[in-house]
Each structure stands twice: as structure tokens, then as C-alpha cells.
A and B are shown apart, each in its own frame.
Chain A
Amino acid sequence: MKRFGLYLSLALILFLILAPLVAVKEAFSTGKIPRVIDRLHLNTGNTTRLTEQDWPSMQRLVLKQRYDGVQADAVVVVDADAWPLALACQSFSAEPLKLPVILFKSTETAINEVVTNINKWSPRGLNEFNGADVLLVGENTSSLQNELQQGGHSTLVLTSPDIYKAIASVRDTLLTAGANKRQDLIVVGADNVKYALPAAAWMARRGTPVLLVERDKIPDATSKALDEITSNNIYVLAPPSQVSNSVVNELQKWGQVTRIGEEDPAAHAVFFARFYDETNRFGWQATQDTAEAARHYLLGSVTEDWLMFLAGNQLFSGSNFGPLLFTSADKLPAQTEKFLWSTTPDWWVTPAEGPFNHTWILGEPTQISYAVQGRVDFIQELRDYLDQGDQGISGIEALALVWFALALACAIWTWFHLSTRLTQIAPFMKLSWLLVMLVLGPVGLWSYYICYRGYNHQVALGEFPRPLWVQVLSATLGTAGFGMSTMVTVAFLLAYFGLPLIILQGPLFWLGSPMTQSILWSYLAALAVNIFIFVPLMLRSKESSTYRDTVRDNALTVFFSMTAISIGMMGAMWLMQMRGLTVMPEEENLIWWATVWGANVIGLITGYIGNWPLLVRGRKIGTM
């Protein structure tokens, strides 16, 4: 009996220490994944995959989506061998020009395709381009010129063997055509396209021109282009490894310079997505400040060809727009993941209220894995503000974690205190106190302090002459320690193995409900454990009667005391789980524990009220 009681209480202690950690069981098992995942399509609720293998087919898909049935004034064709030019030309797609931008590699099929497209769109010609309806940018586009002119198109050619000069001429053409009245300027380094790419989506939205610098030097052509315009707002989209500090300092000659840069490409893209200069309304400002907005993201693999990004970028040149983000092929970088979490909308009244985020994924599953897509979809799902959904940590859950840590600390401290200072206390009283710490946390520790403070000289006697209100507290905790821990344990195990559900007819149908069943069984278990095991064991040192007599004498008392605790505890649990939260929590959610710990405190209060008359009538002892 005693041994059984000891093992049971140890099991309860172990359980209450380890069970809350089941909240992270997913960390250890993500469930079965079939070896081959069969799907009919590759889109999900919050993501769309542009399933194209290479950039020419991506360009075909996007241009069709974006410009079919749209009347354009002119078409821009840009050399696909020179990334700075292809990037710079993205600004032509923005208002007010709204021109399609085609990346071009000089092959026969490409020539045919471009000409067919241009014929289909039949551009009207643009005065700012001297009436030309096709703008050819870069050296290789000359192969198109004949073909187009034969087809009755008039062309304007921007080309130069000096890439810096060519970029500057694109800037000039943009300004002549009336783009960028705000006089913003993006400056990128010439070495690595990765750090320049995030600008593309912004340029296609706002038409900001770009200029190119070397790592340690401003080339002559660029410096000349800067001279032509004053009072620029210059944004250097590059970390120090791409554009040095001395260059940034030098740029200040021409305007207000802001550096936007991180060394890690994924972090770099995120930095730019968050960036906002309010004086100039420059930047996406994808932060909590714009939580009322919906967002579209363009997500590409950081190892992917830049052409894939710029081909996809045209999708964001019209009425859909948003930041460009990088991922690894088979895992979301920590920075990107954190960013997506931070910009997921919360809902307040109903999940139908929106706004909703959406991510466009560039490429096939070999380029960005399906697992990454699944993760992005999950992270972007609208979340309830109160519980922040699965895997999210809401304010309440953070408090619950702190509470759990405190409860552990209280239990450790109490254990040492009991075993060094209060050695004479009955062993089961000690175990009971440990359980009290685990179910009631700091409230338990406070009660412990109140119960034993100032009674050092009484320890040897094992009797503590407390004031009445403390006696009631002590008596309540005597039942609560084993009672609450049993209830919590049984409720958890029932939920873990699946709650019973019985469909009944008539007005008492709710007796079959899983919540009622859970309450019923955990209550009965706590009652039984207290009446038959722990109360006799705790009273053993006090009373000399037989086990049978102890059980009989105390059964009714324990029943009243336990019922008083349960009413508060289970009532509170019901209200919180069934009414307070929009979705009934599972035992693996941290919020389940938050409701349980909250309910324990309520249970202590109602238990205290219920125990008062029991103590006054001498049915319970409060001096142990």
C-alpha cells in the first residue's frame, strides 16, 4: 500500500514535470511522409507555384499572364546576357509607362517568339521614345532590328560597350519618359547579382532607376550620370562586401545616402522587404506597422539563375506586387522564415476578415522543394490573435511557459527545504507539497511559506498551531496536491489516447460529450486516489485506526473537499477551453496547459471555500 502510494506519487511528479513538454512532441516526430507524394497540382491555400523548369518558359508563362489583352505603348527587349541592364529595364514596367519587358537571348526561336509577341501586342509607339514602339537595350538585341523593322515596327536602340554607360542611358531614357518623379535612385554593386535582385520587384512597381558602381570606385560614367541630377535620395542596396564604405561616403556628394544591406542574401532580401523611408515613401515596409495590409511575395531559390527571378518578376509589375524573397532549395533560411512569421496577419473577430498573404513560388519542386512550399503555406496561414495557432507562441502561452519554469523552480526549492529543514514531516505530506508546487506554481510556494513560517520550534512535534485561515489553506492543499495532479494527469492521458465520445439522445446528450467524459473520469480518479490511497497514508502517523476505518471515516470529507475543488477547476477549464478559445485546444498545445494551470488556481479558490466548513466542524485537520 505504502509502496504503491509512493510509486504513484512519484509517477504523478514525473508526469507533471515531463508532460507539458509533449507540446513540442512535433519536434521529435513530424508523422509519416509517403515516399512519393502524389498530387494533381502544386498549389496550396497560401501559395501558388509557377511550375516552370527554366527562365524562357517562366517568361512565356508570366508574359502571357501579365500582358495578354493589355494594350501597351511600347515593348522593351533587353539583352539577357547582361544582368545590370535586365534589372535596370524592370523600371519600364512600372507606372506610368507600364511596358512589357522581354529578356532576350539571340537564338532563332527566341527571335521568332519575341517578334510574334510584339506583333500580338501591337504597341502604339511612344512619343518619349521618338515614336518608337520597341526599345532595344543591350548589344545582342541588334539581331532583332531587321526582323522588327521589316514587320513595320520602329525601334530605339540603347547600347554601349561600357556597361556603366549603358545603365546610365537606361536611367536617362526612363527620366525622359516621365518615370520616377520622386527622384529616388538605387545604387547596386556590379559584382554580385544576388544583392541587386531584391530591387527588381520594387522597380517594377515604382519605376525607380538604378545605377551601378564598383566595389571600391564610382566609375566615370556613373559619376557623370549622378552629376546630371541633384537632390537625389540614394539607396545603396548592397552590404559593405559589395559596395565599400568609401564609395558610400563619396556618394553623399550627390544626395542623401542610405545603405540597405546584409551579407547573407536571404537576410539582405528581408532587410529590403522591411525597409521604409517615410519621408520619401521608399520601401515595402513589410512590418507590423502595415499589419492591415495583405502581402504578395515572390519566392525564389538563392542558387537559381537570376534570369528566373527577372522573368518571374514581370508578374509583379502590375496590380499584384510585393517584395522578392530568397530561400534555399530544400529549407527556408532562418531569416526568411522569421520574416514570414512576423508578417502573417492575425484575425480578431473572424478568420474571414483577412487580409490574406500569398506567396508565388518560382520553379519546379527540384528548384524549390515541396517541403519548403508546405512550410511557407503553413507560416502564412492567418492566425487567431489569442492563441497564435499551432507552433505560434501567443502572449498567454509565453506566460504559461514562464509559469511552468517557475513551478519547476518552486518544486526544486521546496524539495530541498523539506529534506533539510522539515525532516520530521510525514513523507506523504512532503510528496503532496511537491505536487502542490507543480500544479499551483508560485501560488503553491506562497502557501508553503504561509503554512510553515515562524514555526521552527514546532517541527519536531509535527503540529503547527496556525490561524484558522491558514489551517483552511493547509487542509485544502492536502486534498489538492494529490487531487489536482491526478485530475490533470487523467485529463491529459484521456486526450492523448483520444477522448471517449458517446452519442446520446434527449436533453442529457451532453453527458456523452468528450469534455464531460474527461471531467467525469478525472474527477472520479482523483476522488478514488485520495480516498483509498493518499488520505489514509497521510493520516497514518496521526491516527491509529485501521485502514478500513480511516477510509470510511474520511470518505465523505474527501468527497466534499474534492468536489469543491473540482467545481472551480473543471468549471474554469470548461469555460476557457469551450468558450474562451475559438478552437478547443489539444493536449499537445501549450494553451491547453495554460488553461489547466489557470483552472488549478480557480480550483484552489473554490476548494478553499468548500474546506472552510469542513475544518470548522473538525472534519479536517489544518495543523499538519
Chain B
Amino acid sequence: MNFNRRMNHVRWGLGAVTALAVLLLLAVLFYRPDYYKAENVTNPAPVQITQNTTRVPGEDVFQVSASIAQIVYPATFADNKPNAVILVPQGDWRRALAAVNLIHFPIDAPILFIKENEIPEIIKQEIKRLDPEGLFVDGNTKAYIVGPVEQKVKDELRGMKIKFRQFDAVNVYELAAMIDQYRATINSDHTDMVMIANENAPEFSIFSASWTAHAGSPTFFVTDNEVPEATKIALKRRAQDAFIYLLGSEDVISAEIADELARYGHVQRIPGTDPFGMSTGFAGYADFGPNFGYWVAKTIRMFGWGIAEAGHNFILVNPAQPEMAVPAGILSHRGKHGPMLLVQENAIPEPVMRYLKIVQPTYLSSQEQLFNFGWIIGSPSVIGEQVQIEADKLLQVKMPESRVKE
């Protein structure tokens, strides 16, 4: 074999390929892909909107979770589709809250509720609409199942050509720890900032979902009077002491438990004595400082929204329906990131009202203005129409009262 002659043959071949690459590179600069292929959208019943709020409708948890996914992922081309979907069998809000830890990047997936024995039609449609791309850091997985399901559900997913990974544990404490370990594997590191919730106090816990989706800090569970073994193990896994934030006053998470948790790191309480006040306390809370590292290479920690100024977004949920509230955490993962606040079906509680007045924008100028915006989670049977109208007034820009002109 004459090697040089062979090289001569490939010379022109290589030249041609390089020329092709250059041409492609140029084409990229001028070529406009078709981002407008999505057509034929159904025309659903109108939902109540106001100038500063949008209602995310849904009568049950399935509808609400699909509705939320539709806010975040229009799915009209590859870049506005999710990487995966998180399927949570309905029935336990703690399971959903543990699953929220899967939302954040690089996973980038919405929570959809299913039943243990089947995937409801509306959720099947939603999975088809979302057409998840597959998660590149985990063998292009397209779905997570968080909790127990019957074989039928898995078969259905296989039938839809959806590659999935299941997380199932004997109890919810282990489930949370298991998902934390999975996320740590992706990042090669455990998040040092964690939250602790009392498993019997959803109203003190659910608003952590928006922070978890935004920042990737997990929530672990304690019971009324002890720290479960799985939670202890999870806390111990951090490379050094954890930064532990307690979701609840001493009535909710006792001083003894706080003391016990202090073995595993630095414990702090999110301020607030009632659930509503604590949701606003969390929204205003910020804890900055050093985190992990040695000598000069220390990373910083930033925990908490720390929002006390205008120009933000708020997710309004009703804690009476914790399973509807939790998937809304994803609204802080993409789009207008912002804290979750609690309201009642027929009223905006006083602490929330006070907080919204603090952060209410005032009129600045025609050219430079800040706006607040709110999501109302669920149909009017969950959060009433009047609450939305009241919230709208609290969110809107305060215009000058007098008739003095600009």
C-alpha cells in the first residue's frame, strides 16, 4: 500500500469537508430556523386575568399540575421544552415536596401528578405536549417517578417511549434523602444549605418549594418529636457542616429537635409564628456568608429570597390544598423567579397584605418602571375571584394620588 498516495486522496476529501464546515458556519449566521411550526392549539375556556395577576386554573391536582407546566414550558421548539417530567403519585404532599428537589437545573422538569395505578388522560396529553428532550447527565432520562406505582404505569410510559428512573423508599424521609443523593451525584457535591420541615405541618413547609426549585436546596423532614434516621444520614452526607434552616417556630419544630439538628450543622429558623407570616418571613429572609472551601478558595452561600423591594413576582397558593401548591414551585425555576406566599380561599391574610404593601412599586417614570406580578394557583374554588382582585390591587404600581402632572 502506498501510504503517501492514500494521503493524497484524502487531501482533497479533507479540503472539501473543511470547506463544507466553513460554509455551514456562514450559513448558521444567516439561516433562520423555523420556530413557528406549532399550530392548532385548542381554545380553552378563558381564565380570570387581571392587570397584574394571572390565574393558573385547575379543579384538581392533575389539572393544576398540567396548568403550571403549561405556564413554564410553551413547548413550541426544543429550547422551550423541559428535559424531563417528574411524575408523582397523588396522595401525599410530602412526596411532592421531596420531588421538588428534582426541578432545578440541570434537570429542568415540571411536576405532574399521576395516580398509583394509572396516568390520567390529561397528564398523558401533557407529557405528549411537553415532549421532554431527555436529561444529558443521566442517559437522556425523560421521566422520574417519585413514589410507588403499579406495573401498569411503567408499561404505559414504556409504550410512550419515555425512558424513566424511579425513586421509591419505605418512607418519605428516605425518599427525600434518596433524591438528595441523586442530585448530589449529578453535581458531585451535596448542597450544604438544607431546609427542615415538620411532616405534620404542610402549611409551614410548602412555600419552601419555590426556593428549592429556584436554588436547589432540598427540604428534609422531621416528625413532631424526633429526627428520623434517614434525615440524620442525609445531613451527615454533606462534606462539612450543613447550614440548616428550620421551617417553623418552636411550636412546629421544637427546641429539642433544633438542638438535635445542631449536631449536623449551623441551625437557623425562618422567622414567623403563623404560616402566613412565615411565608412572608421567608420571602424577606436572606442569609449570606462563607460556605465550603479552604483558605482562599471558599465559595459563598446565599440562602433566602431577601426581597424587600419592588419589581418581583409572587406565587399565591392556598395551604389548605398543599398538593396543589407544591408543583407551583417551578414558577420560580424559569420565568419570573419569586417567592411563594400563602393566602386563604376568601381572604388575603394580614401579614401577606402588609408584605405586599412593603414591596408595592410606586410610579417612577414612563421610561423606567418596575412592576410586580402574581400567579394565582388553582380555580376560583381554591382561591376565590375576590382574592385575585385584591391581590391585583396590592401588586399594581401605586400611581400618584394627586392631579399633579408628570
A contact residues vs B (CB 8 Å cutoff): 2-3, 6, 10, 13-14, 17-18, 21, 24, 26-46, 48, 50-51, 65-66, 69, 95-96, 178-179, 181-182, 202, 205-206, 276, 281, 283-285, 290, 292-294, 296, 315, 318-321, 330-332, 349-352, 354-356, 358, 364-365, 369-375, 377-378, 381-382, 390-391, 401, 404-405, 408, 411-412, 415, 419, 427, 430, 434, 495-505, 509-510, 512-516, 578-579, 582-584, 586-587
Contact = CB atoms under 8 A, between A and B. Distances in A.
User: What 3 A-B pairs have minimum CB-CB distances, sorted nearest first?
Assistant: A45-B335, A374-B76, A498-B140
B246 to A, nearest CB: 22
Most buried by B among A28, A179, A290, A356: A356
Contacts of A14: 17
Contacts of A516: 188
Contacts of B72: 44-45
A375 B76 contact: yes
B50 interface: yes
A281 B44 contact: no
Contact of A513 (B78, B129, B185, B373): B185
A27 B370 contact: no
Interface stretch (B27-35, B220-228, B247-255): B27-35
Contacts of A371: 35-39, 76
Given A50-B49, A377-B80, A512-B185, 19 more contacts: A21-B25, A28-B33, A41-B56, A43-B49, A44-B335, A48-B49, A202-B366, A293-B368, A320-B396, A349-B302, A352-B312, A354-B370, A356-B335, A373-B74, A378-B77, A382-B336, A427-B3, A514-B186, A586-B136
A38 B137 contact: no
A176 to B, nearest CB: 14
Given A31-B133, A352-B305, A374-B77, A40 B11 contact: no
B54 interface: yes
B122 to A, nearest CB: 8
Contact of A36 (B42, B56, B404): B42
Contact of B371 (A352, A358, A369): A358
Contacts of B129: 34, 37-39
A510 B185 CA distance: 6
A484 B397 CA distance: 56
Given A17-B18, A46-B335, A320-B371, A31 B78 contact: yes
A281 B366 contact: yes
A501 B186 CA distance: 7
Contacts of B171: none
B296 interface: no
A47 B188 CA distance: 36
A578 B188 contact: yes
A6 to B, nearest CB: 7
Contact of A41 (B11, B67, B312, B369): B67
A44 B70 contact: yes
Nearest to A494: B136
Nearest to B307: A352
24 contacts: A6-B10, A33-B37, A33-B131, A37-B75, A44-B74, A44-B335, A48-B54, A69-B389, A95-B399, A95-B405, A96-B403, A206-B366, A285-B368, A293-B368, A296-B371, A318-B396, A320-B397, A321-B369, A330-B39, A355-B311, A356-B313, A369-B36, A378-B74, A502-B185
B125 interface: yes
B367 A38 contact: no
A69 B74 CA distance: 34
A65 B50 CA distance: 6
B279 to A, nearest CB: 16
A179 B307 CA distance: 37
A321 B367 CA distance: 10
B135 interface: yes
Contact of A43 (B47, B105, B369, B389): B47
A202 B28 CA distance: 38
A24 B79 CA distance: 11
Interface string B49-80: 11110111110000100110011101111111
Contacts of B15: 412, 415
A501 B138 contact: yes
A366 to B, nearest CB: 8
Contacts of A404: 25
B185 A34 contact: no
Contacts of A42: 41, 43-44
Contacts of B399: 95, 318-319
B77 A31 contact: yes
Contacts of B58: 40
Contacts of B126: 38
Contacts of B338: 352
Contact of A370 (B24, B38, B125): B38
A21 B131 CA distance: 24
B188 A498 contact: no
Contacts of A586: 106, 136
A318 B135 CA distance: 44
B80 to A, nearest CB: 5
B334 interface: yes
Contact of A45 (B136, B331, B400): B331
A96 B55 CA distance: 31
Nearest to B233: A505
Nearest to A45: B335
Most buried by A among B24, B78, B140, B187: B78
A127 B133 CA distance: 64
A206 B405 CA distance: 9
A184 to B, nearest CB: 11
A350 B302 contact: yes
B128 interface: yes
Nearest to B336: A356
A564 to B, nearest CB: 22
A281 B367 CA distance: 8
B159 to A, nearest CB: 16
B182 interface: yes
Nearest to A205: B366
B310 to A, nearest CB: 9
Contacts of A44: 70-72, 74, 335
Most buried by B among A51, A283, A411: A51
B308 interface: no
Given A28-B33, A39-B41, A294-B371, A33 B14 contact: no
B337 interface: yes
B105 A34 contact: no
Contacts of B136: 495-496, 498-499, 586-587
B396 A37 contact: no
A365 B41 contact: yes
Given A31-B133, A320-B52, A503 B189 contact: no
A281 B368 CA distance: 11
Contact of B214 (A50, A352, A411, A513): A352
